[in-house]
């Protein structure tokens, strides 16, 4: 499904066991510019409001079954696992750095440290994630962020027409073009994933 826009995705397989929960789209086709403020929980509205202000072509959706993992998110959305963006917080020599990687890959702490100009990078714990990003683990959005010193994005995400990321809760996802994701987050695109084995 690489290259499909969020507006023209093919219908999902609703066969038993397909793992596709019932979904509720934002009003008027799901575009962030049309999201009604009262429709979402506060963290999700923060993301939707940010998208509205930018005027970017975006989509925000709620999934009743939840999307706390990349596999569940891909099943809910109906896209490939590589189109799901995992937003991970690393502490690089103590500095919080947001790292975005595809759902089918794992971040490489050594590469993250090198890209951040740090000697060491370690994954942040839940409290550190919430303090730095303003979002609880499982629903971390790449914007707006409270206290992050840098944002890194795995360069292979640029190979898709659209990508999906957590939008403030474990039940909400948003979609934008990866080039817009780079622009909105100020991310540097680098190689930050482990080699495939």
Total of domains in the chain: 1
Write the DSSP assignment of 20-71 as a string of letters: ---EEEPTGGGBGGG--GGGS-HHHHHHHHHHHHHT---EEEEETT---SHH
- In terms of residue numbers, what domain contains 47? 23-190
Instruction: Indicate the SS3 state at residue 97.
Output: strand
**Number of neighbours of residue 146 by Cβ within 10 angstroms:** 11
- pTM, to two decimals: 0.81
The answer to whether residue 101 is domain-embedded is yes
pLDDT at 40: 82
pLDDT at 196: 84
Check which CATH number belongs to the domain holding 67 and give it: 3.90.960.10
Residue 28: pLDDT band by 50, 70, 90 thresholds? very low
Residue 36: pLDDT band by 50, 70, 90 thresholds? very low
Residue 64: pLDDT band by 50, 70, 90 thresholds? confident
Q: Please report the beta strands in the chain, taking only residues with DSSP state E, as ranges in sequence order.
A: 23-25, 59-63, 84-92, 95-102, 121-123, 150-154, 163-166, 172-176, 188-190
Q: Please report the beta strands in 128-180, taking only residues with DSSP state E, as ranges in sequence order.
A: 150-154, 163-166, 172-176
The answer to whether residue 12 is domain-embedded is no
The answer to whether residue 71 is domain-embedded is yes
pLDDT digits (tens, 9 = 90+) for 129-166: 999 999 999 899 999 999 999 999 999 999 999 999 99
Q: How far is CA 107 from CA 57, 95, 158, 189, in A?
A: 28, 17, 16, 13
The answer to whether residue 1 is domain-embedded is no
Q: Looking at residues 104-124, what average pLDDT do you find?
A: 98
pLDDT at 129: 97
Q: Is the pLDDT of residue 110 over 90?
A: yes
């Amino acid at each position: 499904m690489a290259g499909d826009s969020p507006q023209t995705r093919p219908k999902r397989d609703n066969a038993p066991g397909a793992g596709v929960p019932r979904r509720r789209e934002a009003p008027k086709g799901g575009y962030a510019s049309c999201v009604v403020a009262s429709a979402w929980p506060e963290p999700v509205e923060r993301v939707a409001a940010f998208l509205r202000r930018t005027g970017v072509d975006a989509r925000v959706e709620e999934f009743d079954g939840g999307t706390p993992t990349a596999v569940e998110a891909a099943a809910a959305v109906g896209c490939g696992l590589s189109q799901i963006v995992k937003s991970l917080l690393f502490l690089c020599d103590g500095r919080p750095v947001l790292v975005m990687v595809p759902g089918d890959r794992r971040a490489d702490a050594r590469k993250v440290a090198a890209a951040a100009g740090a000697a060491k990078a370690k994954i942040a714990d839940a409290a550190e994630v919430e303090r730095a990003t303003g979002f609880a683990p499982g629903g971390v959005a790449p914007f707006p962020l409270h206290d992050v010193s840098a944002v890194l994005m795995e360069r292979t995400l640029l190979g898709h027409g659209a990508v999906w990321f957590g939008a403030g809760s474990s039940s909400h996802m948003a979609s934008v073009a990866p080039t817009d994701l780079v622009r909105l987050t100020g991310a540097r695109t680098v190689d930050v994933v482990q080699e495939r084995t």
